[in-house]
Structure 1
Amino acid sequence: MLGFIGGTGPEGRGLALRFALAGERVLIGSRDESRAKQAVETISNHLPPDSIQGVHNSQAARESSIILITVPFDAQKTTLEGLKGEMAGKIVVDVVAPLTFVRGRAKAVPVEEGSAALQAQKLLPESRIVAAFQNISADDLLIPDKAVECDVVVCSDDSEAKTTIMKLAERIKGVRAVDGGGLENARYVEDFTALLLNINRIYKGRHSMIKIAGI
């Protein structure tokens, strides 16, 4: 079971949709269960019955073996502190990219711990933290029959957890998983999201992602 914490936004819904299409059972979580159910309604017509459910964040964390964090960065600390017990011993995938917008331009936000993923590791010392999916286009994910032609860089200090998430990533049609090394490298992947958003602003209507040549 995959659980999305704060999964009602475009990135959470897009990833949830793709993994449910790939045959995973999915829980979309929210602080407000009614919002989670509304999020499910926006994508459920593309999915088999009972493949996805909207629940409270605590239920998503408690009942899932792999948990994906898709909250805004300014909500991450409070959210993770409140779910620490439910996520102990589990793979927790941090999808968060700390960003702000100044006059319409995206800028990376410095994080005291070094990155959102490293902050998650500090807050959840008993969880198996992986960083992934920060650079994948939510707009493309939400088009169910479209191949998402990109690489997903996966970083973790837990090699087994990293391998698990690399295999999961490649269940999305068109995605290649790339081993990004340890969690200390997550900052570069997170920060790159700001550049992609600014490229999208220049090339209006485009959804830029990354592909790494030479490997």
Structure 2
Amino acid sequence: MIGFIGGTGPEGKGLALRFAMAGERVAIGSRDAQRAQDAAHEVGELQVGLSVTGGLNEQVADESDIVVIAVPYSGHRPTLESLGNRLDGKLVVDVVAPLRFSRGVASAVEVEEGSAAQQAQILLPNSKVVGAFHNLSAEDLMRPNVAIVSDVIVCADDKEAKTRVMELAESIEAVRAVDGGGLQNSRYVEELTALLININRIYKAHSTIKIVGI
């Protein structure tokens, strides 16, 4: 099962929908069980036959094989610290992009460890952390009839974990996974999110990224 920690936000719900559409069992987690159940119901209503449940973050972490971290960056460290060894031995996908906004303009937040994904690996030394899915439109993810024509750059130090997440990315219609190298490269992918948000604001669009020449 794929569990989403902080999965009630737009990105978490959107990815939960897409993985459920690909046939995965999905659980949406929150600090508030009712909020998680409401989000699961919302996602499940978008297409018939999806396997989506909701529960507390701790329950979702315990029951999932793959755990997706989808909290705002302000809650990133405390959330991971609170889950502690519940994530030992699990594949953890960090989709968090550390951003700040001023008058509607996005900018990247400097992370002492280098990136949110690197911070996660330090806080979760017994987990296999992968950085991915940073540059997709949450709005488009929540529209099941829209193909996500985009590349997903996947960064990880563990080859097996990276391969699994690349396969997961390509289970989403029209997505291509791109090997982004080690976890140290995740900072560049996370920071790119700020640029995309600002471009989309200028053009009133839902642009994503494509790597050409490979």
Which bin holds the TM-score, normalised by the shorter protein?
A: over 0.9
Secondary structure of residue in 2 paired with 1:83: helix
1:23 alignment partner in structure 2: 23
**1:153-188 CA distance string (max 9 Å, x none):** 000000000000000000000100000000000000
Aligned-pair CA distance for 1:46: 2.6
Secondary structure of residue in 2 paired with 1:8: coil
1:197 alignment partner in structure 2: 197
Instruction: Report 1:174-193 matches (<5 A).
Output: 174-193=174-193
Runs of 4+ in structure 1 over 2 Å off: 46-50
**Is the counterpart of residue 72 in structure 1 residue 72 in structure 2?**
yes
2:213 alignment partner in structure 1: 214
Secondary structure of residue in 2 paired with 1:134: coil
**TM-score normalised by length of structure 2:** 0.98
Residues 50, 151 of structure 1: CA spacing in aligned structure 2 closer, same or farther, 3 A cutoff?
Answer: closer
Secondary structure of residue in 1 paired with 2:45: helix
* Gap runs ≥5 in structure 2: none
Identity %: 62
Aligned-pair CA distance for 1:48: 4.2
Q: Tell me how far apart the structure 2 counterparts of residues 84 and 180 of structure 1 sit (CA, whole Å).
A: 27
Residues 86, 48 of structure 1: CA spacing in aligned structure 2 closer, same or farther, 3 A cutoff?
Answer: farther
1:85 alignment partner in structure 2: 85
Q: Tell me how far apart the structure 1 counterparts of residues 48 and 66 of structure 2 sit (CA, whole Å).
A: 21
Q: What letter corresponds to residue 37 of structure 2 in structure 1?
A: K
**Is the counterpart of residue 140 in structure 1 residue 140 in structure 2?**
yes
Aligned-pair CA distance for 1:27: 0.3
Q: What letter corresponds to residue 24 of structure 1 in structure 2?
A: E
Q: Tell me how far apart the structure 2 counterparts of residues 202 and 21 of structure 1 sit (CA, whole Å).
A: 31
Secondary structure of residue in 2 paired with 1:155: strand
**Is the counterpart of residue 162 in structure 1 residue 167 in structure 2?**
no
Secondary structure of residue in 2 paired with 1:210: coil
Aligned-pair CA distance for 1:50: 6.3
Secondary structure of residue in 1 paired with 2:134: coil
**Is the counterpart of residue 173 in structure 1 residue 189 in structure 2?**
no
Q: Tell me how far apart the structure 2 counterparts of residues 89 and 166 of structure 1 sit (CA, whole Å).
A: 19
Q: What letter corresponds to residue 176 of structure 1 in structure 2?
A: R
* 1:20–1:47 contact (8 Å) kept in structure 2: no
Aligned-pair CA distance for 1:47: 3.6
* 2:43–2:52 contact (8 Å) kept in structure 1: no
Q: What letter corresponds to residue 12 of structure 2 in structure 1?
A: G
Aligned-pair CA distance for 1:86: 1.1
Q: Tell me how far apart the structure 1 counterparts of residues 160 and 49 of structure 2 sit (CA, whole Å).
A: 32
* Gap runs ≥5 in structure 1: none
Q: Tell me how far apart the structure 2 counterparts of residues 22 and 89 of structure 1 sit (CA, whole Å).
A: 24
| Segment drifting more, 75-84 vs 41-50 | 41-50
* 2:140–2:206 contact (8 Å) kept in structure 1: yes
* 1:14–1:141 contact (8 Å) kept in structure 2: yes
Count of residues paired in the alignment: 214
